Structure 1
Amino acid sequence: MNVHLTIEGRHGLASQIYRQLRAGILDGRLAPGERLPSTRELATQLGVSRKTTLDVFERLTAEGYLRSRTGEGTFVAATMTRRGNLPTHATALQPADPLWESMPDALPMRQEGVSPQYDFMGGVTEKRLFPFDQWRRCVSHAVRVQARAPAGYRDPAGEPELRLAVSRYLALSRAVVSNWHDVIMTQGAQQALNVLGRVVLRPGDVVAMEDPGYPPARMSFKAAGARVVPVPVDADGIVVSALPADARLIYVTPSHQFPLGMPMSLERRLALLDWAQRRGALIVEDDYDGEFRFEGRPMDSLKSLDHDGVVAYVGTFSKTIFPELRIGYLIPPASLAQALRRAKQTGDWHSCTLTQTALAKFMLDGYFAKHLRRMHKEYAARRAALRRWLDHELSPWLAPLPTSAGIHLVAEIRPNGMKPPDEAAFIARAGAASIGLYGIGGMFAGRPPRAGLLMGYGGLSIEEIDTAMQRLLDTLQGQPALPGAAHLLPNRHTRPGRAAIP
């Protein structure tokens, strides 16, 4: 036998012998047809009981690695030839599609093992104020419901109680009127985009996207085989006159443009709806954090203005509860509803029913609305605290863009000195002070990126924001510039200008 077996300790003897013999067969050291010692002989060599080696041989025989011939002994199965004769340079799998190899990270993320003390990552919510006691009762209710229900697969569109709760909530908060049958529950907004892409797009179809825009959406549509065309935005939102004439799908974030923050004007919304209706294009409205509006009257959603069935409305609980929940929703045009249900079914059949049932009770019992009211007030105070720093002490370095909603804002890096602003250098300087900042440069696709920071304030208290901004100010004022970043130091002889939307 061409395998050297070793025994370590006196525990798990059969498992040790099994793993070593199996490995020897798979890598070819024990050739097909090779005779093994008898169980009694092997037990004597290893100093174990015969029952141990007998159990190992029986298991390997049952799994097809060994064959016994009466009166002759035990041999490595001849079927192992296929594994043993593979050349060492053989490639087991074809390489991944080059699209995935070249695709960048979806969004700026903190590096593994690096956890800044003050992290301004976008899209992060405040879990410390979430009513976990009420949520625990809702989860316990869901467990009892699931225990009483017979086992089986559920409706791909989701649990009826949650779809009803979502329909009622959207009618009151976003003026999106729908029957609960119209709602499709998804694994976050990202799955809604994936399903829409699979159903609507064919390879080579054109998708129009805001520029700058939401990278995960861009990646999802590219993965569906589409050609994604960036379309500029201005103070009113996406520039409708710049839309490609052959666009089959238009992705927009009208309530709080991602990442810059301005809402789409009513005039622009109506122009976009008219454009899509005339060309038979689908508009995907991603209302990712439209619940949190701090100035002015809430704008009507595109879906509430849609009388021609051209808008698919996408939302998520990631920004109202917390991202780990992974529950989103989709209200499509009636013409796409059945196909989308089937696409959802082929993807994962249906989302977790336990979480859906718990969230339905959380909403229908009024806990969700109460939590939203509390967080709206809290996020408004945090936004105001951050703006005070950006508008005053930090204004020589940063210029916040106007925004009235959401749980993040964008601040442009001011072009002080002769060199252009250096986003990476600014982020590195903040990181040295344990402040996590994230750039917007990677969110531009069709025009030169602007150096700026996406500053999420959802996960930091007012006290933490104040401490972090004071630390950033001290760093910018007192530390020497990083290599290539001298332009970040303010010019004391110039007065900071006002920020402007592109």
Structure 2
Amino acid sequence: MELHVVINGRKDLAEQLYRQLRDAIECGRLAAGAQLPPSRLLAEQLGISRKTVSDTYSLLTYENFLIGRIGRGTFVNARPVKAEAKQSAADLACAQSLEKWRELPTPLRHPTLEGTSRYEFIGGATSRNQFPQEEWRRCTQDALRRIAQSGGFYSQPEGLPALRSAIAGHVSFSRGVVCSDADIVVCNGAQQALDLIARVVLEPGSLVAMEDPGYTPARLLFSAQGATVIGVPVDDQGIQVERIPDGVRLIYVTPSHQFPLGMPMSQARREALLERARALGAIVIEDDYDSEFRYEGRPTDSLQSLDKRGVVAYVGTFSKTMLPQLRLGYAVLPPAILGAVIKAKRLTDCHTSTLPQWALAKFIAEGYLLKHIRRCHTVYAGRRERILQRLNGDLSPWLQAVPSTAGFHMAALCKVPVNIPLLLELAKKVEVGLYPLHGFFYQEPVRDGLFIGFGAIETLDIDPALDKVRDILQQIA
């Protein structure tokens, strides 16, 4: 890689080189420890004499900007970087818009590896021990071979045909989704799918209805695009359809495993929701984020499978079934918005990286995904059962589990007043990561409780962690 230096004309060559190298070091563009090109190579690149470069290196070394190491070369010496005054946000014409973004919260943000607790009940995370490393490695190697054999062109914005076909087969088999590969758009996680649908459906001032409490990142995303979000309360059957107001363009729901409380939407509510959406001319986003894991009762069909009028956009993700770091999701779209979403995808990021797409296509086709889901199901079922036993046992004076039949998180509501911030603070001190429910409420009154994920915590760690929680609750009650 060439060092960026620009020489103008044939006068003051040494001064030009000296000034640019010194400025680059002082502003930090050439970081401490960076190796400079050999004098002969830099002279050839710039079309000047080697002596000019050597003399400049010597002067900068004398001034302590550079340091020479025998047999290794010339390096930038460690120096304090001169801070230059930058334009502040308040001075910009877009100051008001920047302030709006600055004030947005970052809910459900996972901690860094250094910031995690010994016992983590965070939602949406999975245990590294469950991930099939060897099978994924083989699929990735196959993907590298395919890319090496292909031309150096960009891919299709809607995703690789092989992966779209694999996804269509998987969701049809596991969730009863009625689709073909032509209905699918591959995205960088479910969050991008929500963003793309909102981009083509909403305009500033558009009304969006979503569950309250509900998935806060979705609400913030819709609001950031200028929409007015209406929180619709939920009960034990799901969203209260009769309270969805007129004029709504988009309805966001999690019918299989309501986020964050966990109850499924009843059949009657599903039918009522589809009829209400048809009457409004609204699109329904069905976020089916973790319903592959079901523990009780008969499997329920997806909302999309009941849709006869083409109003449901089904959104899924592999972040929950595999690893969040993969950032692979998809949307099964009704014909009315499919073409617009594909164009929005192309304008947004052209296409999702093809390497993980090829790997995932093979991972699904070889049956590794279903095998992995079955293995995780057994593990998660055991963790869920143990947490429920504790919530119904020694933790029952303070907490009550919300009935839930799917996923790998549950909600526990407070039965008596509990100082939740103090509970979280004291738990953190004993290496237990707990997370509150209150951030998911929007316009409805907040109900105190805990959002308990059991994907990341190991089974043998559950009892020691909950022992600590019980002891804290006894102290602060």
Q: TM-score scaled to structure 2, two decimals?
A: 0.82
Q: Report what 1:310 is aligned to.
A: 311
- Rounded to whole Å, the distance in 1 between the matches of 2:58 and 2:251 is 61
1:436 aligns with 2:433: yes
Q: Which amino acid aligns with 2:204?
A: P
- Rounded to whole Å, the distance in 2 between the matches of 1:295 and 1:89 is 53
Match of 1:262, SS state, is: coil
Q: Report what 2:127 is aligned to.
A: 126
1:168 aligns with 2:165: no
Q: Which amino acid aligns with 2:389?
A: R
- Rounded to whole Å, the distance in 2 between the matches of 1:90 and 1:25 is 23
> How many residues are treated as equivalent by the alignment?
416
Q: Which amino acid aligns with 1:434?
A: E
Q: Report what 1:425 is aligned to.
A: 422
Q: 1:52 aligns with which of 51, 54, 70?
A: 54
Q: Which amino acid aligns with 1:52?
A: S
Match of 2:338, SS state, is: helix
- Rounded to whole Å, the distance in 1 between the matches of 2:122 and 2:88 is 45
- Residues 188-218 of structure 1: CA distance to partner in whole angstroms, max 9, x if unpaired? 0000000011100011000001000001100
1:240 aligns with 2:241: yes
Match of 1:185, SS state, is: strand
Q: Report what 2:472 is aligned to.
A: 475
Give RMSD over aligned pairs.
2.7
- Rounded to whole Å, the distance in 1 between the matches of 2:265 and 2:89 is 56
Match of 2:471, SS state, is: helix
Q: Which amino acid aligns with 1:177?
A: V
1:433–1:475 Cα contact (<8 Å) kept: no
- Rounded to whole Å, the distance in 2 between the matches of 1:142 and 1:89 is 44
Q: Where do residues 253-332 of structure 1 align in structure 2 (5 Å cutoff)?
A: 253-332=254-333
Match of 1:210, SS state, is: strand
Q: CA deviation at 1:474?
A: 3.1
1:461 aligns with 2:454: no
1:429–1:475 Cα contact (<8 Å) kept: yes
Q: Report what 2:38 is aligned to.
A: none
1:249–1:281 Cα contact (<8 Å) kept: yes
Distance 1:116 1:278, change over 3 A: same
2:125–2:324 Cα contact (<8 Å) kept: yes
Q: CA deviation at 1:22?
A: 5.5
1:195–1:343 Cα contact (<8 Å) kept: yes
Percent identical pairs in the alignment equals 44
Distance 1:233 1:92, change over 3 A: closer
- Rounded to whole Å, the distance in 2 between the matches of 1:87 and 1:328 is 38
- Rounded to whole Å, the distance in 2 between the matches of 1:25 and 1:429 is 44
- Rounded to whole Å, the distance in 2 between the matches of 1:51 and 1:102 is 50
Q: Which amino acid aligns with 1:324?
A: Q
Q: Which amino acid aligns with 2:419?
A: D
Match of 1:193, SS state, is: helix
Q: Which amino acid aligns with 2:415?
A: R
Q: CA deviation at 1:55?
A: 8.4
Distance 1:294 1:281, change over 3 A: same
Q: Which amino acid aligns with 2:469?
A: L
Match of 2:451, SS state, is: strand
2:313–2:331 Cα contact (<8 Å) kept: yes
Distance 1:55 1:253, change over 3 A: same
- Rounded to whole Å, the distance in 2 between the matches of 1:89 and 1:354 is 38
Distance 1:365 1:100, change over 3 A: same
Q: CA deviation at 1:51?
A: 3.2
Q: Which amino acid aligns with 2:295?
A: F
Q: CA deviation at 1:109?
A: 4.2
Gaps of 5+ in 2: 1-15, 29-49, 60-83
1:18–1:56 Cα contact (<8 Å) kept: no
1:192–1:329 Cα contact (<8 Å) kept: yes
- Rounded to whole Å, the distance in 2 between the matches of 1:51 and 1:432 is 57
2:121–2:454 Cα contact (<8 Å) kept: yes
Distance 1:271 1:396, change over 3 A: same
2:17–2:56 Cα contact (<8 Å) kept: no
Q: Report what 2:210 is aligned to.
A: 209
Q: Which amino acid aligns with 2:424?
A: I
Q: CA deviation at 1:17?
A: 6.1
- Rounded to whole Å, the distance in 2 between the matches of 1:111 and 1:257 is 27
Distance 1:345 1:86, change over 3 A: closer
Q: CA deviation at 1:259?
A: 0.1
Match of 2:361, SS state, is: helix
Q: 2:22 aligns with which of 20, 23, 29?
A: 20
Q: Report what 2:157 is aligned to.
A: 156
Give the number of the structure whose alpha-carbon radius of gyration is greater: 1
- Residues 65-106 of structure 1: CA distance to partner in whole angstroms, max 9, x if unpaired? xxxxxxxxxxxxxxxxxxx99999994674243331221113
2:107–2:439 Cα contact (<8 Å) kept: no
Distance 1:17 1:185, change over 3 A: same
Match of 2:233, SS state, is: strand
1:401 aligns with 2:398: no
Match of 2:410, SS state, is: strand
Gaps of 5+ in 1: 1-13, 27-47, 58-83, 482-488, 490-502
Match of 1:135, SS state, is: helix
Match of 1:51, SS state, is: helix
Distance 1:154 1:112, change over 3 A: closer
Q: CA deviation at 1:434?
A: 1.0
- Judge which range, 100-109 or 90-99, deviates more: 90-99
Q: Which amino acid aligns with 1:431?
A: K
Q: CA deviation at 1:54?
A: 6.1
Match of 1:439, SS state, is: coil
- Rounded to whole Å, the distance in 2 between the matches of 1:325 and 1:309 is 30
Match of 2:193, SS state, is: helix
- Rounded to whole Å, the distance in 2 between the matches of 1:344 and 1:153 is 13
Match of 1:467, SS state, is: helix
- Rounded to whole Å, the distance in 2 between the matches of 1:15 and 1:319 is 54
- Rounded to whole Å, the distance in 2 between the matches of 1:304 and 1:236 is 19
Q: Which amino acid aligns with 1:183?
A: I
Q: TM-score scaled to structure 1, two decimals?
A: 0.78
Q: Report what 1:345 is aligned to.
A: 346
1:294–1:404 Cα contact (<8 Å) kept: yes
Q: Report what 2:368 is aligned to.
A: 367
- Rounded to whole Å, the distance in 2 between the matches of 1:91 and 1:229 is 34
Q: CA deviation at 1:131?
A: 1.3
2:89–2:98 Cα contact (<8 Å) kept: no
- Residues 256-283 of structure 1: CA distance to partner in whole angstroms, max 9, x if unpaired? 0000000000000000001111121110
